[in-house]
Chain A
């Protein structure tokens, strides 16, 4: 699933390590999320959306064809 995580993170001026520490996940998880290789659990998606102050749909872009 595509997402705007990298764009939002860079707009905030924080590193992957810092975002990982804030969300209490590993840096590799942030890296995988940004590359679209890993889809987060609903709990992590909520954590991310709350941190950036945006809805989940605005951050994670659902594509029906990808299923």
Chain B
């Protein structure tokens, strides 16, 4: 509960800082629109909104659970419930399988369409990273189980 509240505050304050930063950048540097950095304030605005909203939601949820301890107990049971965990993992595994094929197809189309090489290479790197990360977990779990 305390950890959740702390995480809520961190997200809330980080989001607020990013929103303020974006506003300051837009106000204090008027010719920012012309340069390469024009995307920065809007990126900060988008990420800041997400973090601010997520943090505020966490804090409200913690507050609501403080008033209703039975709700907190139910939430904890739902999170740890073995069937829920198994369903979540199975759904993620299915999604991963589809992602592997769709990502592969996207890379192929990207190469066939002669898209920007740098972009294609970044996508290939991300694809390989995910595949090797999966393999690494496979070996790690083989040793543990």
Which partner residue on chain B sits nearest A38 by CB separation? B83
Among B73-81, B94-102, B127-135, the one that faces the other chain is: B73-81
Is the C-beta of B84 less than 8 angstroms from some C-beta in chain A? yes
Chain A nearest CB: distance from B69 CB in Å?
Answer: 14
Q: Is the C-beta of B116 less than 8 angstroms from some C-beta in chain A? A: no
Residue of A nearest to B82 (CB): A41
Residue of A21, A24, A29, A43 near B83 (CB, 8 A) is A29
- Cα A41 to Cα B80 in complex, Å, equals 13
Per-position binary interface string of chain A over residues 29-49, scored 1 when its CB falls under 8 Å from any chain B CB and 0 otherwise:
100100000101101100000
A26 within 8 A of B: yes
Query: Is residue A15 contacting chain B, with contact meaning CB distance below 8 A?
Result: no
* Cα A3 to Cα B113 with chains together (Å): 57
Judged by a CB distance under 8 angstroms, whether A8 is at the interface is no
A20 to B83, CA, bound (A): 12
Distance of A40 Cα from B86 Cα, bound (Å):
10
6 A-B pairs (CB sep. < 8 Å)? A21-B77, A24-B77, A25-B81, A28-B81, A29-B81, A29-B82
